[in-house]
Structure 1
Amino acid sequence: MTQELSHITTDEIPIEVLRQDINEICGAFEIEPAHREGPSHGLARSQRMGGFDAALVSLDAQHVNRTRTCIRRDPAEYLYMLVQDVGECVVHQNGAATLLRPGDMFLVDATRPSQFIYDGKLSHQISVHLPRDEMIGRFGSICEGGVAVDRTDPLWVALRAVLCKMTQCPPGAGTQLSEAFYGLLGAYLHQRHTQLPDARGQIVEQALHLMARHFRDPDFGPSKLASELRVSLRSLQRYFEPLGETPGQRLLHLRLARAHSELSGGRCRDGAVADCAYRCGFNDLSHFYRAFRQRYGTTPGAVAALSGNAGVIG
């Protein structure tokens, strides 16, 4: 179990007060409470951590959004290293969805819209404010767009250790810790940047493996595939672009290829073309016939008839 860093205690608080505190400390955000009536549990307070300004935030909201309107109203001077301390949160930014559990970290780009989903469950987070000009000057564009820190990477352990020290040092101290944090974060960002194509290739490889396992399930589609891989559907579609097809097209071609193999190999007995379609993951026969003819230039029945299944109607 990951050690808690913030030690936040919360009381019931009017949502208007929580909104005001968060906007004053963290910038412009829209907060959707879990309950329309009555107070929420929450707290937002500023704290100095190892040379950085930081915020300790606790809330049980439904979700929190940083919209384009918020961004126009509040110029983004910071990137935020969001540290999940207690509870869970799903971060949506730049077309990707990332689940944060205790100990997870996500570098939020405040210049781009983002959403943080809590589903009304109490969540404690630490937000370390990293000056944007400083970050861009040190690392360039590789720190932009929203970056999840992989907790299986050894650098995550080092970053976590420095964060722990930052929470314990006196408010006026911490210059060396902040430099250590910059150094470790820079090492992680550069390593991630050089390995990103391989990481995307691994996701595509996992996607193809899952398709091969589950294509016979008619409910298994691109959205369910993306959920299994813990990426957004939009991200998954981008990862498939080098293949020249979408995840949905690859899944359809896999189902059609299996159906064609069964029909042409004499494994479709007694004229049961429909049974073959259902076995191969189709639940709409008209769609199956249309897609089959478009791909192979003939009907399923004609392919089955050629294999010796006389009497099959296609």
Structure 2
Amino acid sequence: MQIISFDSADLPGNERLRRDRWVDSLSSGYVRLRADAGPDVPFNGQLKIMLRDQTAIGRISGTVQAITRGTSEIAMENTDNAVLLLNSGTDEMLVEQNGKSVACAAGAAVLIEQCVPSSIELGAQHLCNFLAIQLPRQQLRGHTCNVEDRFMTPIPAAAPAPALAYAYVETLLKLSNAEQADIPRFATDHISDLVVAAVTLKTLHQETQAPNLRAARFETIRRELDRNFMMPGFSLAMLARRLPVSSRYVQTLFSEAGTSFTDELTNRRLMRAHEMLVSPRYAHVKVIDIAYECGFPTVSHFHRIFRRRFDATPGEVRDRAAR
């Protein structure tokens, strides 16, 4: 696992030097390319790229007018990779390749080839903000779906599969260094399935042809639950809207795993409450405050399910830990 992080604000020197370093970092994570800075705009650029094997995912932002990969860059470093570009900014991106142009609005996406000259032009604000998923073309050919004719085909922002790909990539990029080291190798299979889904799947029902996609979606759902389980009133509907998928589909994935949203939510809250009760750090915090902080709606409900789970009241657990 290799991580490339860059922020131009952390570098000394003039704007051209910072832009060149941004381009060099971006090129080392993906492929050789060129970037033109926006006119009369101070350069500012950030990126974070995660590489595993031949797969790369990353978040790229910067004040540039255009990003291009021409014949000279291809001659110096030719690859047979495909790249899914997801516009995560507010400005429209104009992507051009093979004589075709695709205007990617906020949330929209498009699949491009690295072995063909291409360009990404930004709007009047000259602000790029997108996610890029790069993987060998052979990984796409290995699926039953034919994606060869899906290059430079607009993928609307309303399509569910690109939203899932975005959520999954963002989840991986937000992991700590220790968590990144534990990323399983099948994460690259998930990413490959997500790219195929983004460019080919029409409905969620077609996911039965891509089991790894369902696994990736369920992993994203679980991580979203991990981030929000302490939120008061957090519900199945709220979880589904964040992804976005239907509540019924979330219930189906939990059921396939032999559990339910309610059980998973309650278990996380109980385990967090137990950790706080036995920790000296929270010895001064009242039990009622711990209950509310962990997301329980009422103290009576908290006491009832806590005793059922641990065969002791919250006060008894705290006293045992203190002794």
TM-score, with length taken from structure 2: 0.48
Q: Of the two structures, which has the highest relative contact order with CA contacts closer than 8 Å and spacing of 6 or more?
A: 1
TM-score, with length taken from structure 1: 0.49
